[in-house]
Amino acid sequence: MTATCGVPAPTRRLRLGTIDRPQTHDPRNQAPMITPTKEPVGSATPDVTIIGANDSRQNRTREMQLIPEAMARAHMRDRLREAQEDRRSARLITARRMQRRAERASLRARRALAMAVMH
């Protein structure tokens, strides 16, 4: 097909997208991800990195994807430690309260004994 001035109209070329610059951002139009048959789903095989592509893939590594999970684990570990400290302090407070109660009961018993001996 030619334009009116005799120059052929630009043809639309098939442009393949890359990870960093996808052809489209619409997930419905993107090619589906195909898992290799030799690798089981969810396996922990290391990522294959190509020299020179590290900069473009720096935020797509497994370590980066697992950071929220590691942060959640650290958060839960902190919460568990705080809960243990709270339980320990509650037990200490209860033990001191029981000790004071026992000391008061002992004093009452000594007074009662002294009153009984004196009369």
User: To the nearest whole percent, how much of the chain has pLDDT over 90?
Assistant: 41
Q: What is the C-alpha separation between 55 and 87, in angstroms, rounded? A: 48
Q: What is the C-alpha separation between 24 and 115, in angstroms, rounded? A: 95
Query: Letter for the amino acid at 43?
Result: S
- Would the pLDDT of 19 be above 60? yes
Tokens of 95: 């033990």
Residue 108 in contact with residue 102, Cβ under 8 Å?
no
Per-residue model confidence as pLDDT tens digits over 33-88: 665 566 555 555 555 555 555 555 555 677 778 888 999 999 999 999 999 999 99
CA dihedral 32, 48, 36, 17 (to 10 degrees): 20
